[in-house]
Amino acid sequence: MTKLSVNINKIATLRNARGGSLPDVVRVALDCERFGAQGITVHPRPDGRHIRYSDVCALRPLLTTEFNIEGNPTPEFCDLVGEIRPAQVTLVPDAPDVITSNAGWDTVKHRDFLRELTAEFHSKNIRVSIFVDPDPRMVFGAAAAGADRVELYTEAYASAYSHALHENTAPAAAEAAIAPYIEAAGEARKCGLGLNAGHDLNLDNLNYLVTRIPWIDEVSIGHALISDALYFGLEKTIQMYLQRLK
């Protein structure tokens, strides 16, 4: 079964909008674990607009599931990851001014840089995942850089799948949406890489993804899951996502 890692950035965004400590980021993370999530993901950015470096430090000694820290490998980010030593670091090439991650690495162009980073994190026993578009060349480049996993950037799949549902053109359109991801996932398996996926995954599109690519190790979901929790409650929402992963 594909594991569910809950990205709690949106909880921190809500807290930061008002100041203070409500909602409590650490409490929500521990509740996610208690309700069945198999991991917690955070994506600290330099401007601290949601998860802060102090949150990452507070979470580390309390979490009992897998901790995944994702972000752009700036010197400050790398120092944080090296200090915290999570189970996994996910390298994402997001610029400081983007609202959310919007592209994967060019692992061919940046292979030497990624190889150096990967070796450094491996020396601290941290698993390395590289965020890539669904392109077999980028997957192969991640393997050449020494990564343990790739995370497929699923925004294009989610958008096309949603269009297929609304236009009532499934299953042909749904198959077209998933096709490049199946190809990239196949390349990952061929290269001996583990496989993660994330971005815009939700209750509508998640099951089709893991049904067609059942060897996905982990999905990281934040925005949609936290939004659904406003309607269903956090515990029920996590159970609903876990059910979609079966």
What is the DSSP secondary-structure string of 12-40?
A: HHHHHHH-TT-S-HHHHHHHHHHTT-SEE
Q: Is 33 a catalytic residue?
A: no
Tokens coding 80: 């944080």
Q: Is 199 a catalytic residue?
A: yes
Q: Is 70 a catalytic residue?
A: yes
71 phi/psi in degrees, rounded to 5: 160, 175
Is the peptide bond between 23 and the residue preceding it cis, with omega within 30 degrees of 0?
Answer: yes
| Alpha carbons 35 and 117: distance in angstroms, whole number | 34
- The residue annotated as part of the active site, out of 50, 66, 187, 199, is 199
Among residues 90, 130, 97, 99, which one has the least CA distance to residue 10? 99
Among residues 136, 118, 130, 115, which one has the least CA distance to residue 190? 136
Sorted by sequence, the CB contacts under 8 Å of residue 129 that are 6+ apart come out as 68, 88, 89, 90, 91, 147, 148, 149, 150, 151, 194, 196
Among residues 60, 120, 66, which one has the least CA distance to residue 84? 60
CB distance 1 to 246 below 8 Å: yes
- The residue annotated as part of the active site, out of 33, 50, 66, 70, is 70
CB distance 141 to 111 below 8 Å: yes
Sorted by sequence, the CB contacts under 8 Å of residue 202 that are 6+ apart come out as 158, 221, 224, 225, 228
Q: Which residues carry out catalysis? A: 43, 70, 199
